[in-house]
Amino acid sequence: NARLMNITPQIRLRTLYSDVVMTEIEIVQLLSHETGEYQVKIRMIYRMLLNTETDFGFAILRQVSLNESAVVSPISVIFTLAMLQAGAKGKSKTQIDEVIAKGASDDSITQHFSNLSSEILNAKNGVQTRIANGFFMNKQFNLKTDYKERIVDNYHAKVEALDFTQAEKTSKARF
């Protein structure tokens, strides 16, 4: 039998853009009659990531001038940062984590954005959606195979090495 419990503690997290108050932690306990073991699933980290995405999106939109015409896709920017975060190290990784992760583990970040990408691509009720994630790098550099596989598998991204000295040809890369 599965038993669902809702616990509502007040958890305050300071983010780059605002304070986030977590009031919902969902814990699912599944009892295995054969082994007597409990499996616990905590969804707080995913709720925190959703709040972070929302904060980030509003922060980007606040940067757009009201006197200019602009098209901004916060989800595209955050997917790009998530793909970069998956391969970043040191100060770069720390800075990206501060913007998109708020303390989440690397695996949680990858899983969250992979799930989000899949949900967007598999919309229901007659809605058709597409994501055109691309990772284009200078062909002078080598991309680690495990990193390439991670962003292709989890972010549905096209990965291509291009000749950046041929600007006109390179700018015509297609998805």
> Is 167 a member of any domain?
no
Please name the residue ranges forming H helices in 86-105. 90-100
Distance between CA 142 and CA 161 in Å, rounded? 8
> Is 78 a member of any domain?
yes
Question: Looking at residues 144-168, what average pLDDT do you find?
Answer: 87
Confidence class for position 19, pLDDT limits 50, 70, 90? very low
Looking at the predicted structure, is the pLDDT value of residue 77 above 70?
yes
Average pLDDT, the chain: 71
Better pLDDT: 33 or 26: 33
Residue with tokens 């916060």: 74
> Is 145 a member of any domain?
no
Looking at the predicted structure, is the pLDDT value of residue 148 above 80?
yes
> Is 7 a member of any domain?
yes
pLDDT at 29 (0 to 100): 38
pLDDT, tens only, 101-126: 777 788 888 888 888 888 888 878 88
pLDDT at 59 (0 to 100): 77
The residues near 62 (Cβ < 8 Å, ≥ 6 apart) are: none
> Is 48 a member of any domain?
yes
> Is 90 a member of any domain?
yes
pLDDT at 25 (0 to 100): 35
Give me the domain span that covers residue 124.
2-65+72-131
* pTM, 2 dp: 0.63
Which tokens go with 100?
């998109």
Confidence class for position 45, pLDDT limits 50, 70, 90? low
Domain count for the chain, please give it: 1
**Percent of the chain with pLDDT strictly greater than 70:** 69
pLDDT at 174 (0 to 100): 58
> Is 42 a member of any domain?
yes
Question: Looking at residues 119-134, what average pLDDT do you find?
Answer: 81
Confidence class for position 91, pLDDT limits 50, 70, 90? very high
Distance between CA 143 and CA 87 in Å, rounded? 10
pLDDT at 149 (0 to 100): 92
Distance between CA 154 and CA 72 in Å, rounded? 23
